[in-house]
Amino acid sequence: MPTLTFVSPTGERREFAIEAPASAMQVARLNGVRGIEAECGGALSCGTCHVYVDDADVSKLPVASAQESDMLELVAADRKASSRLCCQIHLSDQTDSLVLHIPATQF
């Protein structure tokens, strides 16, 4: 069973076991992860689910689509090479143990 960990700006870690196909944003919303607002509900029309993928995990994910990359230009926090919208991170066995850091500006 794949796991997903969200790390707050203060270092608090919340780990979740994933039982069904889901996006990282869905897991965050279902579990009340602070800092992941996801105002558009995963429609890729806001930047309120912005995260930084842990450096060790970047290679587990496909490259961001052009639409996601465009939306990342509008996020409140600094954009980094590891910036992603967690609504676009689809969890699977290949993403097991994925760690996502929440930007301080969203917390």
Using the predicted structure, report yes or no on whether residue 1 has a pLDDT greater than 90.
no
pTM of model > 0.85: yes
CATH number of the domain that residue 93 is part of: 3.10.20.30
Greater confidence (95 vs 19) lies with 95
> Domain span at residue 74?
3-106
Per residue in 34-53, pLDDT tens? 999 999 999 999 999 999 99
Q: Of all residues in the chain, what percent carry a pLDDT higher than 90?
A: 94
What is the arithmetic mean of pLDDT over 59-67?
A: 97
pLDDT, residue 49, reads 97
Report the C-alpha gap between 84 and 88 in whole angstroms.
8
pLDDT, residue 20, reads 78
Greater confidence (20 vs 18) lies with 18
- For the chain, what is the domain count? 1
Task: Count CB neighbours of 31 within 10 A.
Answer: 12
Residue 7, φ and ψ in degrees, nearest 5 = -115, 125
